[in-house]
Every structure is written in C-alpha cells, then in structure tokens.
Structure 1
Amino acid sequence: MTQPHPAPGAAGVPSGARPGPHVVLAGGGTGGHIEPMLALADALTRRTGSTGGDAPDLAPRVTCLGTARGMETRLVPARGYDLRLIPPVPLPRKPTVDLLRVPGRVRRAVGETRALLTELGADVVVGFGGYVALPAYLAARRAGIPVVVHEQNALPGLANRIGARLAARVAVTVPGTPLRGAVHVGMPLRTSISGLDRAARRAEARAAFGLDADRPTLLVFGGSQGAASLNRAAVSAADALTAAGVQVLHARGPKNTDVAVPARPAGAAPYVVVDYLDRMDLAYSAADLALCRSGAVTVAELSAVGLPAAFVPLPIGNGEQRLNALPVVEAGGGLLVADADLTPGWIAAELVPLLTDPARLAALAGRAAAAGARDADERLADLVLGVVRP
C-alpha cells in the first residue's frame, strides 16, 4: 500500500514543511520501460528544498503503476517504491479479431486507473510507454491531471504517440524522435552507471572477473537473455582475439549453457564466459570496447560512461535498434554492423585492430562520452516538477 508523507513536525520533518507533490509513474513490462522509470523515481526522491517562503518542501512522493504480469512486480518493490496494479491493455501489432476487443479493455482500464489516481491524489502522471502507460494517460486526461511522456526509443510506440498528444511536456532519449513538442533530455539512468568512473574502477573490475590488469578487453553481451548470433561469432573468433593479446568478458545468457570456449594456454589472454552480469558497472569498467545489441538503455548507458561499442541491432522489429545507435555512431563513438554481417572474420578484421590500437580506442571513448547524457534523470525530474500545479 502507498504510505502517506510524514506530517510536518514529525521526527526528522521540519515544522511548517509543505507536502511534496505526488508523482505517479507508469511504466511496466520490460526493463526498457522500468529502468528509466526507477531512475526518475530516485531523482525525484532526492529532491528537497523550497519553492518559495521560508518553509522547505518535502521530497515528492512516488507511486509506480504496473500490471501483475510484468517485471515491475519484482523490480519496483526491490527498489523500495510502492507499486499499484492496473489492468493491462495489450495492443495488437496487426489487424486481428483481437483488435475489436481493445476499446472495451481500454474503457475498463481507464476507469480503474482514474479511480486509483483520485485515491492517490496524483499531481502529475509520467508515462514511459507500453501497455501500462496508455490507460494512465487517458485516465489522467479525464481527471485533469497533467501528463509527461518519456520515450526511450528513436521510433515511438503507439502508447506514447497517443500520450504525446495529451501531454503537457514530452521528453525523448534520441534527438529527432518524431513526437510533437519533444525535448531531448536523454535516458534516465541509475546513479551506479551515470556516476561511474571507469578508469578509477578498472583494476577492481578486472580482478573481480579474473581478467588481467593491463590487457585490452572486449565485453560481449546480448541483453539479459544473451544473443545467439553474438555468442556464435564471438566464440568462433576467440582464437583470433586472444592470440592478439585481447582478453574477453562474455555474458552468454542464462539459457545458453552450450556456449563455451576451451581454456586458454598458460600465459595467454583470458576468455571469461559468464551466464549473466549483475554488476554492469564493473563490466563497463573492465572493458575497452563492447560488442552488443543496441537497445535504448544499452546505448544510453554505454555512451554515458564513455565506453565505445560495436552495435549489432536486433534484426527483427521496426528497425528502432539501428536508429537508437545511429547518433553515437555518427558522432564517432562506435561502430554499426548488421546481424547478418557479424562473423568471426569481421571481428578479426575490424575489432582486433581497434582493440590493439590504444589511441583509436581513446578517441572512440571520448566521442562516445560526448554523445552521452549523465544527468538525464535530473533533467527529466526538473521537467516533471515544472508542470505540477501549485
């Protein structure tokens, strides 16, 4: 259940303090929606201060909306935030008979969500797209509550295209995202990433993964579940990489236990295979270059920490992963290779020379960092609080 603000004069709360606004965040289903939502929640709860007069304001209160079937049921409570569940409204990608059922589902979900927003006393609703956001946008509009939309991808989904038409403000991660009135703020990131000093953590990180302290290092990962094409290409290029003195940290994915590399000879560069990386801050710190997909959060994190990458966009979908990576690649902070073109030969011809050229790597890293945004969480928090009515 949502907990009320402590009353002014309670322990640790200044007498006369004004209650902070109640911000309701709608983003569920995938990590691409949930992670920026939680990063914004953290930025909001760090806020205290005064907007006028002598009495300070309490930090904003945050409630997250989600559905019973999404990752938010695990991730949101683990970060200490209240989660309230609403009915999901999945939107068919193609015209099917299921499309006829959508209006009824939307009406029911909007009605329940509006009642919940009234119960919570919401001052603003912030949506991150997906099937949680659409009923939240419509319910907020009916209740007269201002809406802020944040779009993570270069190509917005249906929920955010609708939400942008109702919103007081629209924020985007990728410049040029086609939403009316959009402001580029970047991707809100958790502070363990946005505040990361890779150089300062490098020795610690390489030791944690059993890597040598001074060898050039390639990080291979394909998201939380791994990516079969990246796994095949990297493992097949293992000999070329390690023979050139390049060590590898490879997250194969928990379901890809058949991915393995024979032990390297004594004194050779290590090739370390793990199922999953639960400390991305250490993985980024250990690496000089990444070979990875180009989901919105991945691109934003890599550029924020200044880690260049060879991006391999997912070959299915609407092409948004390629567009996510383009601003960094065009800025000179990374490479782009089609999934079909990612071969062991390509890795040997393109990545081995790069990884063994410290000056080129340093130049790529500098341009990647210049394309990134470390303060997107604070910029989005400013935008959100700016639409709250006094």
Structure 2
Amino acid sequence: MSPHAPSGPSPSAGASPSVVLAGGGTAGHISPLLAIARAVLDAAPGARILAVGTQSGMETRLVPEAGFELATIDRVPLPRRPSLDLLHLPGRLLRAIRQSERILEDAGADVLVGVGGYVCTPLYIAARRRGVPIVIHEANTRAGIANRVGALFTRRVGKAFDQTPLRHARLVGMPMRREVAGLDRESARAAARTALGLDPDRPTLVVTGGSSGAASINRTLAASLGRLAEAGVQTLHITGRGKALVGPDGEPLAAPGYRQAEYVDGMETAYAAADLIVCRAGAGTVCEVAAVGLPAVFVPLPIGNGEQALNARGLVEAGAALMVRDAGFTPDWLGGEVLPLLADAPRLAEMSRRAAGLGIRDADATMAQMVMEAAQA
C-alpha cells in the first residue's frame, strides 16, 4: 500500500469535513477507530474518511474490509530499554513525521483523530506542526505513550475508563459496533442460541480467550466438561483461530452440551446467548460486556503491565463480575465458583443490572461530536 493518501481538493469543514483517523496494530485500537469513523459519517454523511496505520498491523485487513481507505506510514516503536536501537530512533521518527505531514496535506485534513498505537506519535506531531486540530480516544486504564504525548496538544480527549489518568480526558466510554451497543440480550437470547446450535432453554456458559484464544483457559475448560454436563450447563467454547481442541482419537473434542467454535462472527450473538461469560479482560471486552449487561468472570492476561486486571476492577468492585488470576482458573475453581453462579438466577440478574448501570453505549456518537466540533473550530 502507498504511504500516502491520494491528493484531492480539501472540502471545507462543516457538513463535509476531512477526517483522518490514526491507530492500529491490534483490534483493540482498530475497533474503536472504525466505530468513530462510522459515527462521524452518521453526523456528517459528506465527510471524507481516511485511516492511517502501518503495513504490519491488523488494520491492513480490517480497515479495507470495513469499507474505508487506508494510508500507511513507517512503524516507529520506542525501545523499551536502552539499546543501540535508540540511536536510530530520531531518524525513524523524523521520516514518519514527514510521511504523516504529507498524508495530512494530501487529505486536506480538518481534524486528526488518534486512538493510540505506534502510528499516532508521528501523526500527533505532524498535526501539531501543521495546525490541524487533534481529538484523542484512550481505550485503556493505563494510557500509552502516544496518547500521553498527544494529550499535550489538545483538550479534546475521551477515555473509556474513569480511572485512566490522562491530561484533559473526560469519560466517554468505548466506541463499539452498533450491533453490540444496541443489543437487547433478553429479546435476542432464544434466536442467538438457536443460531449457535444451542438449546434455547438451558443455562448457557460462553468461554472465550479472544480471537487468538487462550491456552490456559482452553485447558481448564477441556478438563471441566464432565462437571459442566453433570450440572446441566451447556457451553459455547470459542477456542480461538487455529486452537480447536481434539480428543485422544484426534477428533474434535465432544461432550454432552458442549459446542466449540474457533471463532464467532459477531460477538453480539454470543453475548445474547450467554447467561455468563468467562473471558480475558481486554478494554474492549470489558466495556462491551458492561454495555450489554452480561455477567462475567474475568481471567486477566498474566503477562504485561497488569492492565487487564485494572480494566476489570470497576465491574468487579461493583458486584457485576468476578475475577480470578490465570493460574487460579482451575477445574476446581470453576466447579466451586462458576457452577454455583450459573445456578443462581437472582444473583446473575443482579450482576446484569449492575453491569448495565456502568455500561456506556453511545461513546461513538460522543466522540463524533467532539470530532465535528474540532473540525469546525
């Protein structure tokens, strides 16, 4: 892909602003970017939308699939510890800033929207140099360095979690797909279970480690199928791409009431089907289960800076979710905590109510309003 957006006349800001959105690398950055882009088009159908990422991120697939144009710049990671690679950083960053300035110029950008990731730092600097207004969304409880830099240049900053310390930020929630934000779990439950090959009337547990899967969660679930069946629980196990579980005979693992799938296209269907979900605690997942009022058991990723546990803390403290360390999520823990919870309908209903009370469903529209205000400033 070309590192530059095509040249063209710049429309005047207002009904037809030129909006450049920067972010990428992971779905955690790309999903809110796409939600904001769609909300901007709702607010201003004549808007020109251009996304900017790198050639190595998931955006090279997800952005075009969503129907938006993508430009790319060089990836400029910041070394996590002192090394000889630091000597190359200034030159790499300067080259990426120049690429970013060219993209903003060719797009006739009225506003730059950043959602974090490597791509944002050079674009924030380029926008600052060119006088292009900046709008930022921070998805995590611990803001990344790019958004911490960007927040020095603007007062238009939204965040998904109230506890995130970031300059000028205000709570807006997580921009998410309309199919999730608008989900009514109760009315969609029976049809969702039928679509997923489940019994509409049985207690339903959904287990997922995300699109890439989680080996530790998968192992615990595989060892718990007998207990789940004895308890009358049906389970939809989303194993992750390439992570299908097989039995001793080499065939896909099977048990009464157990269905596995590597991937579910449209997690709103799984959310609607579930009475309870066991999942990681990525920012997007935490915000989505709150928005739809789904009781959850969070098993935070055991590596990294502890961010996932922080993401889940608000729901756990509110009584809307449980949390267990990855090493603590064992068949015995599942039998002692998850199965009694699934059998306790009043407790599940109260958890659902508390989750929904913390969920925010209109973050995309709030961010779009911020974008329009910046474009017209």
Q: TM-score scaled by structure 2?
A: 0.94
Task: Determine helix, strand or coil for the equivalent of 1:148.
Answer: strand
Residue 35 of structure 2 contacts residue 364 of structure 2 at CA under 8 Å; is this kept in 1? yes
Q: Deviations for 1:321-349, whole angstroms, at most 9, x for unmatched residues?
A: 00111111112110111111110000000
Task: Determine helix, strand or coil for the equivalent of 1:125.
Answer: strand
1:239 is matched with 226
Shift of 1:23: 1.1
Residue 116 of structure 2 contacts residue 138 of structure 2 at CA under 8 Å; is this kept in 1? yes
Of residues 163, 167, 189, the one that matches 2:154 is 167
Matches within 5 A, 1:124-143: 124-143=111-130
Task: Determine helix, strand or coil for the equivalent of 1:387.
Answer: helix
Of residues 29, 36, 39, the one that matches 1:43 is 39
2:84 is matched with 97
Structure 1: gaps of 5 or more residues: 9-16, 49-57
Q: Deviations for 1:122-176, whole angstroms, at most 9, x for unmatched residues?
A: 0111111111111110000000111111111100111111111112311111112
Matches within 5 A, 1:187-226: 187-226=174-213
Residue 47 of structure 1 contacts residue 59 of structure 1 at CA under 8 Å; is this kept in 2? no
Matches within 5 A, 1:171-186: 171-186=158-173
Q: Deviations for 1:241-292, whole angstroms, at most 9, x for unmatched residues?
A: 121111100011122234557543xxx5x11111111121111111011101
1:51 is matched with none
Task: Determine helix, strand or coil for the equivalent of 1:46.
Answer: helix
Alpha-carbon distance in 2 for matches of 1:321, 1:231? 19
Shift of 1:59: 3.5
Q: Deviations for 1:301-359, whole angstroms, at most 9, x for unmatched residues?
A: 11111111100110110010001111111121101111111100000000100001111
Alpha-carbon distance in 1 for matches of 2:199, 2:69? 43
The 1:257–1:358 alpha-carbon spacing in structure 2 relative to 1, beyond 3 Å, is same
The 1:18–1:387 alpha-carbon spacing in structure 2 relative to 1, beyond 3 Å, is closer
Task: Determine helix, strand or coil for the equivalent of 2:376.
Answer: coil
The 1:91–1:290 alpha-carbon spacing in structure 2 relative to 1, beyond 3 Å, is same
Alpha-carbon distance in 2 for matches of 1:7, 1:368? 42
Structure 1 counterpart of 2:148, one-letter code: R
Q: Supply the RMSD in Å over aligned alpha carbons.
A: 1.9
Matches within 5 A, 1:60-79: 60-79=47-66
Structure 2: gaps of 5 or more residues: none
Shift of 1:377: 0.4
2:335 is matched with 348
Alpha-carbon distance in 2 for matches of 1:104, 1:183? 34
Residue 235 of structure 2 contacts residue 258 of structure 2 at CA under 8 Å; is this kept in 1? yes
The 1:259–1:251 alpha-carbon spacing in structure 2 relative to 1, beyond 3 Å, is farther
Structure 2 counterpart of 1:38, one-letter code: L
Structure 1 counterpart of 2:37, one-letter code: A
Residue 220 of structure 1 contacts residue 291 of structure 1 at CA under 8 Å; is this kept in 2? yes
Of residues 357, 362, 365, the one that matches 1:378 is 365
Alpha-carbon distance in 2 for matches of 1:253, 1:231? 9
Shift of 1:376: 0.6
After the TM superposition, list the runs of 4 or more consecutive aligned residues in structure 1 that deviate by more than 4 angstroms.
Answer: 1-8, 259-262
Residue 168 of structure 1 contacts residue 387 of structure 1 at CA under 8 Å; is this kept in 2? no
Shift of 1:7: 9.3
Residue 21 of structure 2 contacts residue 50 of structure 2 at CA under 8 Å; is this kept in 1? yes
Structure 1 counterpart of 2:182, one-letter code: G
The 1:374–1:259 alpha-carbon spacing in structure 2 relative to 1, beyond 3 Å, is farther
Of residues 28, 45, 66, the one that matches 1:32 is 28
Task: Determine helix, strand or coil for the equivalent of 1:388.
Answer: helix
Shift of 1:25: 0.3
Shift of 1:385: 1.5
Residue 2 of structure 1 contacts residue 82 of structure 1 at CA under 8 Å; is this kept in 2? no
Moved more, 156-165 or 341-350: 156-165
Residue 146 of structure 1 contacts residue 168 of structure 1 at CA under 8 Å; is this kept in 2? no
Residue 293 of structure 1 contacts residue 314 of structure 1 at CA under 8 Å; is this kept in 2? yes
Task: Determine helix, strand or coil for the equivalent of 1:294.
Answer: coil
Q: TM-score scaled by structure 1?
A: 0.90
Alpha-carbon distance in 2 for matches of 1:369, 1:7? 40
Matches within 5 A, 1:268-283: 268=256, 270-283=257-270
Structure 2 counterpart of 1:94, one-letter code: R
Residue 8 of structure 2 contacts residue 106 of structure 2 at CA under 8 Å; is this kept in 1? no
2:18 is matched with 22
Identify which of structures 1 and 2 has the higher relative contact order when contacts are C-alpha pairs closer than 8 Å and 6+ apart: 2
Alpha-carbon distance in 2 for matches of 1:7, 1:85? 22
Shift of 1:4: 6.5
The 1:6–1:196 alpha-carbon spacing in structure 2 relative to 1, beyond 3 Å, is farther
Alpha-carbon distance in 1 for matches of 2:8, 2:47? 11
Shift of 1:114: 0.6
